[in-house]
């Protein structure tokens, strides 16, 4: 018969507590791992939000610094319902400007008639500080060159430049 010391007997009895300790350590590691993943996800979403915010602020700054003027505008009839507009455009802003749409409104009728033309294919780009003479063609039924017209040019940044043609 072997004689065991009281210290050895105490160690043998407490072996059941190791599984709870190991389970607790594993659970803490899992929680830390999940927290780390959630933290990285939130950090990535915050970075995306900051990128979108800075791009939006840059677009707003570009839109506000876009300044286009129409110096002179004349109008002739091109036969039928066609109207030809010749105007001088000046970009006095600090960013290049692209004209993407033209609206011509005949104000001589009780209900104004509006003609529109998309200009994306014409690729009218005005660099900063440039003056450019441009000709546009619009179909406007029933209009004559003696009528009063409102000319509106829309830029790619959604600014509108307006003038009246008599």
Neighbour-count burial of 113, counting CB atoms closer than 10 A to its CB (0-12 exposed, 13-18 middle, 19+ buried): middle
| Among the four given CATH numbers 3.40.50.620, 2.60.120.310, 3.40.50.300, 2.60.40.10, the one describing domain 68-165 | 2.60.40.10
12 DSSP assignment? H
> pTM here?
0.69
What is residue 38's predicted lDDT score, i.e. its pLDDT?
97
Looking at residue 83, what is its pLDDT?
Answer: 85
CB atoms within 10 A of CB 137: 12
Residue 140 in contact with residue 156, Cβ under 8 Å? no
Pair 163, 73: CB distance under 8 Å: yes
d(CA 111, CA 56): 39
- pLDDT tens profile 67-119: 999 999 988 887 778 888 899 999 999 999 999 999 998 888 778 778 888 87
Q: What is the pLDDT of residue 1?
A: 57
- Is the pLDDT at 13 greater than 60? The verdict is no
Predicted pLDDT of residue 146:
80
* Residue found under tokens 């350590």: 25
- Do the beta carbons of residue 87 and residue 72 sit within 8 Å? yes
More confident residue, 122 or 22: 22
Residues 6+ apart with CB under 8 A from 112: 105, 106, 150
> Domain ranges in the chain?
6-64, 68-165
Strand partners, 116: 103
Q: What span, in angstroms and rounded, lies between the C-alpha atoms of 134 and 71?
A: 11
């Amino acid at each position: 018969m072997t004689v065991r010391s009281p210290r050895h007997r105490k160690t043998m009895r407490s072996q059941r507590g190791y599984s709870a300790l190991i389970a607790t350590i594993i659970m803490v590691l899992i929680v830390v791992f999940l927290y780390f993943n959630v933290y990285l996800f939130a950090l990535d979403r915050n970075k995306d939000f900051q990128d979108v915010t800075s791009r939006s602020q840059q677009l707003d700054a570009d839109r506000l610094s876009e300044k286009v003027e129409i110096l002179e505008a004349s109008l002739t009839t091109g036969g039928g319902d066609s109207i030809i507009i010749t105007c001088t455009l000046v970009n006095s802003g600090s960013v290049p400007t692209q004209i993407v749409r033209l609206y011509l409104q005949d104000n001589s009728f009780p209900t104004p008639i509006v003609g529109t033309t998309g200009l994306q294919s014409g690729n009218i780009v005005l660099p900063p500080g440039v003056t450019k003479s441009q000709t546009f063609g619009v179909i406007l039924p029933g209009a004559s060159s003696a009528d009063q017209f409102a000319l509106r040019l829309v830029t790619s940044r959604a600014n509108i430049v307006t003038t009246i043609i008599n």
